[in-house]
């Protein structure tokens, strides 16, 4: 390479830096142009695609977000930002199953690379919201179907009562009426039981962090047997002191152990109840 000649890779990297500067100044159009030029020079660098996708996201241009993120994850299937923004774009199209799959992938990758980063928490919250929205949509559909079926069954019982009443005149009217009432009551119990799965559920206390009172994401247990959310207890140890906030016993970060039993219990609870509660 002749002296003074800048390589395509160096030019692309400079364009990326220019794009970052424009983005920080909220000059999204200029940032997109810079990232696009970088992509033209070096199309196989996934970060150029995710950076441009983030600009499109800021503009709510979800079709372009999806396109750029699809390219990014093709280039690097371990791109946390690629899977994350792709998941958000799919959710905008109400493709809940696909969007949730991408967010879960982003969360798994994020936990493996940077378990205590702010982005892991952000992804978790988006995943929780997405699962709730999916449950809400499906439960609403199920509720309407159950309601129509219940009304059809009640109508059929009442029509049967009317036919029996007419055919048997007045002799057994009270008996028929009582039997019909019992059947209607039994029918109500059956449908009430069927609707329980779509009823919002409170999270048990033992599945919640004693500090935040929020459901565990990444629970860790201390030598004293207490379980906390990892990010919260680490923040306490760093900013408050090296002691357990409840027992006041000396505690160091190295003593924290993942509480796999509670983590599995949380996942089982959320799976069983279909995320039938709204995240804050």
pLDDT-derived band at 141 (thresholds 50, 70, 90) equals confident
Q: CA-to-CA distance for 73 and 71, rounded, in angstroms?
A: 6
39-76: pLDDT as tens digits: 999 999 999 999 999 999 999 999 999 999 999 999 99
Helices (H) and strands (E) in the chain, counts: 10, 3
Contacts of 19 (CB under 8 A, 6+ apart): 30, 31, 32, 34, 35, 38, 51, 52, 55
Provide the token pair at 124.
């978790």
Who wins on pLDDT, 178 or 223?
Answer: 223
pLDDT-derived band at 279 (thresholds 50, 70, 90) equals very low
Q: What's the pLDDT at 113?
A: 65
254-267: pLDDT as tens digits: 999 988 888 888 87
Model's pTM, two decimal places?
0.59
* Listed residue (42, 38, 35) closest to 64, CA to CA: 35
Q: CA-to-CA distance for 266 and 269, rounded, in angstroms?
A: 5
- Reply yes or no on whether the pLDDT at 278 is more than 70: no
The mean of the pLDDT values for the chain is 83
Crossing angle (nearest 10°) for helices 46-58 and 80-92: 40
pLDDT-derived band at 176 (thresholds 50, 70, 90) equals low
């Amino acid at each position: 390479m002749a002296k003074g000649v800048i390589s395509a890779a160096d030019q692309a990297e400079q364009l990326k830096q220019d794009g970052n500067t424009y983005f920080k100044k909220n000059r999204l159009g200029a940032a997109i142009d810079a990232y696009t030029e970088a992509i033209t020079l070096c199309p196989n660098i996934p970060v150029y695609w995710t950076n441009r996708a983030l600009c499109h996201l800021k503009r709510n241009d979800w079709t372009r977000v999806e396109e750029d993120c699809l390219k990014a994850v093709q280039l690097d299937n371990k791109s946390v930002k690629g899977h994350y923004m792709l998941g958000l774009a799919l959710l905008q199209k109400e493709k809940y199953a696909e969007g949730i799959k991408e967010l879960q992938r982003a969360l798994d990758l994020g936990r493996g690379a940077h378990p205590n980063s702010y982005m892991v928490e952000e992804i978790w919250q988006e995943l929780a919201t997405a699962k709730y929205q999916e449950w809400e949509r499906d439960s609403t559909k199920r509720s309407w179907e159950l309601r129509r079926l219940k009304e059809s069954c009640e109508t059929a019982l009442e029509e049967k009562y009317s036919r029996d009443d007419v055919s048997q005149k007045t002799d057994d009217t009270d008996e028929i009426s009582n039997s019909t009432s019992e059947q209607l009551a039994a029918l109500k119990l059956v449908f009430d039981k069927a609707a329980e799965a779509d009823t919002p559920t409170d999270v048990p206390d033992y599945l919640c962090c004693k500090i935040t009172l929020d459901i565990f994401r990444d629970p860790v247990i201390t030598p004293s047997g207490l379980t906390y959310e990892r990010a919260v207890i680490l923040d306490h140890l760093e900013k408050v002191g090296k002691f357990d906030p409840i027992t006041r016993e000396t505690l160091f970060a190295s003593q924290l152990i993942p509480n796999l039993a509670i983590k599995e219990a949380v996942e089982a609870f959320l799976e069983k109840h279909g995320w039938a509660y709204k995240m804050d």
